[in-house]
Structure 1
């Protein structure tokens, strides 16, 4: 019974399952060497059909619960563990389910990244490639028209045109380009220099369209980057099997969580203690659902291997942790000038790179116009992201120089973690 309770997804399910572990709650129960089953009356007219495959264990129940095992499966197993479920002959619905599971278990296991039907997969990829090419050709024509017409009066027709283009890119199965078009729309009317920002966004879109047109001529790593920016994905199994692997103690520089109505995204930035390599771990969860636990706290080492996704600037990776987290000293950092130079180098490899992790040494929070900046001993400053509250940084610094790890993009610097001594402070 202790083993059954230990399978419960949460204490509430365990308690509810114990309440159902009574013979009066069940009809049509039975057990064989491979399965236990029964019918439990719920609030509806028809009782819930509940079965447990003992080889897993695996659970099947007609109730609407999304928990596995549900309270009915827990109650049935507790009843069985007390010896109150007698042997019987499997009914058809139980036998079919268990047989199907056994059949799937006997199928040869596919290798990581291997697809069930390679020919069908190639045909699907070819059809998508045609859609992408057609959509990007239409986008290229639209961009040429804007060069000829100029941006005079564009703000009046921008919303409808860019919304149509973003929808067209979704239809063309190029979600990455659709996102870039939406970012271009967001630049319109934002400040006095919005035409310059719009031109910058459209230039990057034009660059991805032009790169796709000569994809076969690009170096393989850059071609992978172009494909990824368009929206093609790489299976995690293939990354783990074939991706570049780097072993190190990975310092967690910090994490950023961005929730919206549909999806929560978490970015975790890592830096190798020995290799100095940078890595990005992306985690996603549907709105309202919890994210996976972090492997460590910011400012700690995570021993393990990073398997990097392909690209000209390999950043995104999958972490395979090999040992428990470790304490880490305050990391070495860069001056503001050195930090910006590293960002420029990243753009040389990947012009579409939107974010870059930086560790700044000996910087102080200071006023910068209507906002704030981090200023180093040379007097160079890095502007903080507009709207970011600097009060915690000011409290840690108290006027002294500190080390700050953060994420830089064209809008500004977003601090994640800071150190006044060797103790990290999560921002």
Structure 2
């Protein structure tokens, strides 16, 4: 299905690319326009001596251009897709450079050929696995001792420690090949300094919660043999053990119409980390697809808020399942309504059930339907409420826009809940859906559907 102009512009990496892409969306500027199925192509004159060759597949979405831009998609790819959205180019036989791009995409998505493959050295694999397990076990011992010392001295004293105190422990965990634990340790000084979670009585309470989750994760990591396979896999993932491509390929896919509700982007260990948040319209299953890019590099294309991924996702091992990877499917226009919205009480119950299965989980995606926004008595911040209860909303520069969209009427919200407050990522009201922009601190929302 051809994307709308708004959906194509939402793929642009920044505002400058959106404006430049619109400038390239004039059919008279293009030569050799053609289409084969969902793949479109054309050539456009740029600053080089020869025209730039651009090919795109909006259903992927995917694109490639011979221009030197490091942005992805570049302005020419955006312009080409806008031209196609305004009026589909004629069907034609793909030229050689387009056919090569199509074959390359097919080869990357096809399962690897086994004929002639070099046999794996099972003994070497076992040695590497045992060596890492031994390193992680040592890191767990050191972290357990460090946590005991921290609690023995008291959390009030820990709050006065410099960042180097926390970063030193995190560095030793990275050396022990437990990067997931290191990330959690590096997050502790932020809790110690602010304790900003709604409902937290004091910074010490927020710090105690973070330390407690770490301690529970250490206990679970020492009892992997006593856990169910999916629970054990979830613990290993939280520690930082990777999931191999072969293991993920063997996982069953879950088919649904996956509504893309929001993107979040953060910097972690000098990498840009983007999370695409989905909820299945039929199953109500939440999912996150995570992509990484080095500093200065561009993140791969992904469906934008206001689109659905009609197909299947493969979930990483873990209980409860959340992180996933794309399988087969196409991008289609999305309905305005949020999927699987429940009551505030159901959101509390969902989070409680998640904690019962994995008490070290920090946040969980939830949808609530038909809530009204307002201020709790004696409180400064906003809250969302219905007949079953209230959810405090985490402080965010986009909340005034969320409140304006509601206009005093019931709305549906999607966000990340941590047991204290909801970080709003999407809102649906009066037949329209909006998403919080991933990297724009201004008090605005993006129209999604």
With the length of structure 2 as denominator, give the TM-score of the two structures.
0.67
Q: Does 1:304 align with 2:311?
A: yes
Aligned partner of 1:345 among 353, 356, 363: 353
User: Matched residue of 2:318: which SS?
Assistant: coil
Structure 1 spans left out of the alignment, 5+ residues:
20-63, 68-107
Deviations 1:350-370 (A, max 9, x none): 212222111111112212422
Aligned to 1:366: 374
1:426/1:139 CA distance change after superposition, 3 Å: closer
Q: Distance in 2 between matches of 1:350 and 1:278?
A: 16
Q: Distance in 1 between matches of 2:359 and 2:217?
A: 9
Deviations 1:269-290 (A, max 9, x none): 2222222222111122223333
**How far 1:242 moved relative to its partner?**
1.2
1:329/1:187 CA distance change after superposition, 3 Å: closer
Aligned partner of 1:381 among 390, 407, 425: 390
Q: Does 1:109 align with 2:141?
A: no
User: Matched residue of 1:276: which SS?
Assistant: coil
Q: Distance in 2 between matches of 1:302 and 1:334?
A: 22
Q: Distance in 1 between matches of 2:410 and 2:326?
A: 33
Q: Contact 1:244 / 1:309 at 8 angstroms: preserved in 2?
A: no
User: Matched residue of 1:425: which SS?
Assistant: strand
Q: Distance in 2 between matches of 1:410 and 1:388?
A: 21
Aligned partner of 1:127 among 128, 131, 140: 131
Q: Distance in 2 between matches of 1:394 and 1:162?
A: 38
Aligned partner of 1:234 among 243, 249, 267: 243
Aligned partner of 2:325 among 318, 331, 340: 318
**How far 1:261 moved relative to its partner?**
8.5
User: Matched residue of 2:330: which SS?
Assistant: coil
Deviations 1:15-48 (A, max 9, x none): 53639xxxxxxxxxxxxxxxxxxxxxxxxxxxxx
**How far 1:342 moved relative to its partner?**
0.7
Query: Considering only CA atoms, is the larger Rg found in Structure 1 or Structure 2?
Result: 1
**How far 1:341 moved relative to its partner?**
1.0
Matches within 5 A, 1:264-343: 264-298=272-306, 300-330=307-337, 331-343=339-351
Q: Does 1:16 align with 2:48?
A: yes
1:407/1:151 CA distance change after superposition, 3 Å: closer
Matches within 5 A, 1:30-109: 109=113
Deviations 1:299-325 (A, max 9, x none): x43210111100111111112242341
1:267/1:114 CA distance change after superposition, 3 Å: farther
Aligned to 1:163: 167
Structure 2 spans left out of the alignment, 5+ residues:
1-30, 34-38, 52-67, 72-111, 196-200, 437-449
Q: Distance in 1 between matches of 2:228 and 2:390?
A: 36
**How far 1:116 moved relative to its partner?**
4.6
Q: Which segment drifts farther, 360-369 or 126-135?
A: 360-369
Q: Contact 2:261 / 2:435 at 8 angstroms: preserved in 1?
A: no
CA RMSD of aligned residues (A): 3.4
Q: Distance in 1 between matches of 2:373 and 2:69?
A: 51
**How far 1:114 moved relative to its partner?**
9.4
1:215/1:302 CA distance change after superposition, 3 Å: same
Deviations 1:188-217 (A, max 9, x none): 232571222222211111112122222222
Q: Contact 1:365 / 1:390 at 8 angstroms: preserved in 2?
A: no
1:393/1:126 CA distance change after superposition, 3 Å: same
Q: Which segment drifts farther, 336-345 or 259-268?
A: 259-268
Aligned partner of 1:251 among 250, 256, 259: 259
1:339/1:65 CA distance change after superposition, 3 Å: closer
1:360/1:324 CA distance change after superposition, 3 Å: same
Across the two proteins, how many residue pairs are aligned to each other? 338
Q: Contact 1:386 / 1:412 at 8 angstroms: preserved in 2?
A: no
**How far 1:158 moved relative to its partner?**
5.6
Q: Distance in 2 between matches of 1:415 and 1:149?
A: 37
Aligned partner of 1:421 among 419, 423, 430: 430
Aligned to 1:89: none
Aligned to 1:221: 230
Aligned to 1:35: none
